[in-house]
Amino acid sequence: MVNTILFFLHEANDKTLGKIKLAKMLFFADLKAYKESAQTIAEVDYIRMPRGPMPVEFDKTLNSMKKSGLIRRGKRGENPFFPLQPYDSSIFNEEELASLHQVAKDFLSQYTDTVVWLSHKNPAWKYLKHGKYISFALASVDSEEEVKELIAIANKLTATEIIEGSPELLASLKRGIEDARRGKLYPVDSLFE
């Protein structure tokens, strides 16, 4: 995540890139990578917030980067963040770098409100409640109808149907449980209280 943030700050090249827009660019880069390879780049979880997807503990990461001398905050009226160190391009593979460059090209010249609006167009974002973990498996579905159908199916499944379901269904549910545990936003044990 740190190197992805540094990448976007370097690519901004003194264009305005504040926290909200940066968070959306991270999300779009991870979403693009997930659609292409079922893996994310920044390796961070996102939650649904009023202004779109937000990386978990994003403020903590930015503050840590500032304390470590990797970035500095600009003054009012200036670019909110400036990189003080280069990003390590060796940690990204060719596909990841291509995704990062494409997202930078697509979004750096856009207004923050435009990027926020685009993040709200994600069908999964529309159906999640505020503060809930965003699964890339659901966020990568392009059709609002498909999202509604998946949610309806999930709501109708009984424990027996899940246990006796197809290997694909079981694998999908397992990934969802692992994502929930990793996100630490709603402990699995609390679902059974």
Task: Name the DSSP letter for residue 51.
Answer: T
pLDDT in tens, 17-31: 889 999 999 999 999
Query: Based on the structure, what is the number of domains in the chain?
Result: 1
Q: Which residue has the higher pLDDT, 51 or 139?
A: 51
Residue 110 domain flag: yes
Whole domain around residue 122: which residue ranges?
A: 2-139
Q: Which of 18-27, 147-156, 179-188 has the highest mean pLDDT?
A: 18-27
Residue 147 domain flag: no
Amino acid at 189: D
Q: Which of 58, 45, 10, 56 is nearest to 179 (CA)?
A: 45
How many Cβ atoms are within 10 Å of 88's Cβ, its own excluded? 11
Residue 159 domain flag: no
Q: Which residue has the higher pLDDT, 136 or 64?
A: 64
Please state, rounded to an integer, the average pLDDT across all residues of the chain: 80
pLDDT of residue 141: 76
Check: CB of residue 22 under 8 Å from CB of residue 100: no
Question: Which string of DSSP letters, residue by residue, matches 106-171?
Answer: HHTTS-HHHHHHHHHTSHHHHHSPTT-B--HHHHT---HHHHHHHHHHHHH--HHHHHTS-HHHHH
d(CA 119, CA 38): 19
Report long-range pairs for 101-108 (Cβ below 8 Å, ≥24 apart): 101/11, 102/32, 103/8, 103/25, 103/28, 103/29, 103/32, 104/7, 104/8, 104/11, 104/12, 104/25, 106/28, 107/21, 107/24, 107/25, 107/28, 108/8, 108/11, 108/12, 108/15, 108/17, 108/25
Residue 123 domain flag: yes
Joined tokens for residue 131:
């503060």
Does residue 6 register a pLDDT over 50?
Answer: yes
123 pLDDT tier (thresholds 50, 70, 90): confident
pLDDT of residue 189: 34
Residue 186 domain flag: no
Residue 167 domain flag: no
Residue 17 domain flag: yes
pTM for this predicted structure:
0.75
Residue 162 domain flag: no
3 pLDDT tier (thresholds 50, 70, 90): very high
